[in-house]
């Protein structure tokens, strides 16, 4: 059973920064893509950023503010979030896409508020 564990969420003021981490229970090189999604209250889960062998992709709403990266030695994926806005408030989920299924973490809450 693969486990993905997110951490790093919290309360931050508008304009602030947070760094989310996603630790995997197996080598992240075994996934062909790893990503971050978010879900705000009353809204559908949406893709924030993904990292794969071809590079990275971002939602338009976070381009230039968020950076996804990975540390293969630590089996960890990161999401650096800068210039945070109230509309970034959501539960952030880590995902790992394997050959037969996608795995999900339990989520970490990010709240952007003054």
- The yes-or-no verdict on residue 55 having pLDDT over 90 is yes
- The yes-or-no verdict on residue 109 having pLDDT over 90 is yes
Structure tokens at 41: 């209250």
Instruction: For 26-67, give the DSSP string.
Output: S-GGGSSEEEEEEE-TTS--EEEEEEETTEEEE-TTTTTTEE
pLDDT band at 99 (very low <50, low <70, confident <90, very high): confident
Mean pLDDT for the chain overall: 96
- The yes-or-no verdict on residue 71 having pLDDT over 90 is yes
């Amino acid at each position: 059973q693969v486990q993905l564990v997110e951490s790093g969420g919290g309360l931050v003021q508008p304009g602030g920064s947070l760094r989310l981490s996603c630790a995997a229970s197996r080598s992240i090189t075994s996934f062909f893509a790893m990503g971050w999604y978010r879900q705000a209250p009353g809204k559908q889960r949406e893709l924030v950023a993904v990292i794969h062998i071809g590079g990275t992709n971002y939602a338009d709403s976070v381009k230039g503010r968020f950076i996804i990266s990975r540390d293969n030695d630590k089996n960890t994926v990161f999401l650096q979030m800068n210039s945070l806005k109230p509309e970034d408030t959501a539960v952030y989920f880590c995902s790992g896409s394997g050959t037969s299924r996608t795995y999900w973490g339990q989520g970490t809450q990010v709240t952007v508020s003054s």
